[in-house]
Amino acid sequence: MAIFLAIPILGLMVIFQSAVFSQVQLLYGTTDLVLIILVAWSVQERVTTAWHWGIIAGIMASLATAVPAYAIIPTYVVVTGIAIYMRRVFWQRPLLAMITAIVLATLLSQVVTVAVLVINGTPIPVIEAFYLITLPSVLLNLLLAVPAYALMGDLANWLYPETIEI
C-alpha cells in the first residue's frame, strides 16, 4: 500500500515542483519538493518502504529534468540512505534528524548535479553556483521541512499504526 501511494504522491510533487515551485526562487535557488517529501518519509520511525520511495522519486524526478537519469536516481537513493541514517543517529530527536538530513541531502543532490553537468561539458561556475543556487535552495528546503515532516508523519501513522502489546 505504502509503495503504491508513492507513485501518486511523488508524481503530484513533481508536477507541483515543475509547474509552480520552480518559479518561486530565492536568488536563483528553488525548493526540491520531491527531495523534501522523500526525506520526510524516510525519517519516519515505522516506515519500511523508504528505499522503494527513493527509487520511485528518482525515476519521477528524472522525467522532469534534463539532468541525466543516471545521476538523479542514485542521488535520491543515497538521499534515502542519509535520511535513514539520520533517523538512527537522532532517534530521540526526529525533527533534528529531518533538518540535518534535508541539509545534507540538498547539498548532496546539488553537488552531484553540478558535477555531472560539468563533466558533460556544461560551463558552470562552481563558486557562483554554490552562493546563488545551493545555499538559497538549502534555506528554502529547510523552510518546508517542518510542515512536510508533519504531513508525512500523519501519513506514516495512518499506514503504519502503532501496535500496542498487552
Partner 1 sequence: MNLPRTFQTAALAILIISILLLALGGYLTPISRIAFSPFISAQTWLASRYMAIRDFMTAPRDVARLTQLNEQLEAEVSRLQAQIIELQQQNSELEVLSALLDFARTHAENEYITAAVIGRDISPFLHYVIINRGSDDGLRRGMPVVSSQGLVGRVAAVTADGARVQLITDPDTAINVRIQPSGAEGLLQGSITGDITIETIPQDAKINNGDLVLTSGLGGNYPPDMLIGQVSGVRQSPVELFQSASVEPVVDFSQLEIVLVIVNFRPVNIGPLIPPPEAP
Among the candidate windows 4-12, 48-56, 96-104, 127-135, which touches partner 1 by CB under 8 A? 127-135
Residues 6+ positions from 39 with CB-CB distance below 8 Å: 79, 82, 83, 98, 101, 102, 105, 145, 148
Joined together, the cell numbers standing for residue 115 give: 558535477
Task: Decide whether 8 or 121 has the Cβ nearer to partner 1.
Answer: 121
End-to-end CA distance of the chain: 27
Contact criterion met (CB below 8 Å) for 53 and 38:
yes
Among the candidate windows 73-81, 96-104, 131-139, 141-149, which touches partner 1 by CB under 8 A? 131-139
Q: Is 132 in the site for partner 1 (CB under 8 A)?
A: yes
Q: Is 117 in the site for partner 1 (CB under 8 A)?
A: yes
Q: Site residues (CB under 8 A) for partner 1?
A: 14-15, 17-19, 22-23, 25, 28-30, 32, 34, 61, 64-67, 110, 113-114, 117, 121-125, 128-129, 132-133, 137
